[in-house]
Structure 1
């Protein structure tokens, strides 16, 4: 039975529960957020390689400590010499306004790698107060209270 709503948020009705399970499971299958990536890096129990897919200028400006620099245009030619195909790859690029990490993830998937995209990219990594490596050392900015709780590594969601 379909109910008509005057609510703008419900003009298109929500999906059936089984469809919602499939959709949200799919999103979690293809994406990891910066807090989960950070928690994994901190634990030392990675199970993945984190790949920064930006160009040289972006990498030099600042990157996630421990990330591998492999720009998207170089993936097809260099991935096999740098990465074990049995290890999952998590890609990141600039941020939510950039689909570079998505293009990088596609390139890895086309080569047979299991892959996820770190949503939020380096932008949200920095906004959540996590450290970045630069040419001058490690830097860390204060947490942006619009993106993460101050004093916590995770939003506890």
Structure 2
């Protein structure tokens, strides 16, 4: 009896099609490691937005992230953002779509945006620094270098 491949039951795209798809995917998403590296290196071209509630933000958020709950995003409230930045939105994790709703509102208002893969859940899993309270917090001078290192 010859085994049938579950992986190959649906043939893959051509290499060129795969390259285009994967570039598109990377254009839409950022991961915790890349975002942490940019924050640690003081890259000002990105801004990180926590789309969860203010209460959740206060309990713990990515160092340097600003609180901007997706439910409070309107054309008027978004107007205060810097149009030169690329914004990375996040929420609790893969079971939450707050970052998608926030990213959609930002994109619809003309801002460039990416979503953070895995949200705060993956951020914490990779041992990146968090802050508490109302302020974005400062990136620590000595942050942990654990995580995937991709």
Shared fold, TM over 0.5: yes
Q: Tell me, in whole angstroms, the C-alpha distance in 1 between the residues paired with 2:10 and 2:42.
A: 44
**Residues 6 and 46 of structure 1: CA distance in aligned 2, closer, same or farther (over 3 Å):** farther
Structure 2, unpaired ranges of 5+: 138-143
Instruction: Output the TM-score relative to the length of structure 2.
Output: 0.85
Provide the residue aligned with 2:78 in structure 1. 79
Q: Tell me, in whole angstroms, the C-alpha distance in 1 between the residues paired with 2:131 and 2:148.
A: 24
SS at match of 2:43: coil
RMSD, matched Cα? 1.9
Structure 1, unpaired ranges of 5+: 139-150
Contact 1:72–1:100 (CA under 8 A) maintained in structure 2: yes
Q: Tell me, in whole angstroms, the C-alpha distance in 2 between the residues paired with 1:130 and 1:80.
A: 30
Q: CA deviation at 1:88?
A: 1.1
Contact 1:39–1:153 (CA under 8 A) maintained in structure 2: no
Q: CA deviation at 1:152?
A: 3.7
Q: How many pairs are equivalent? A: 139
Contact 1:75–1:107 (CA under 8 A) maintained in structure 2: yes
Q: CA deviation at 1:68?
A: 0.9
Q: Tell me, in whole angstroms, the C-alpha distance in 2 between the residues paired with 1:31 and 1:48.
A: 13
Q: Tell me, in whole angstroms, the C-alpha distance in 2 between the residues paired with 1:8 and 1:29.
A: 29
Question: Which residues of 2 match residues 16-27 of structure 1 at below 5 A?
Answer: 16-27=14-25
Which residue of 63, 83, 106 maps to 1:65? 63
Question: Which residues of 2 match residues 2-151 of structure 1 at below 5 A?
Answer: 6-76=4-74, 77-81=76-80, 83-135=81-133
SS at match of 1:115: strand
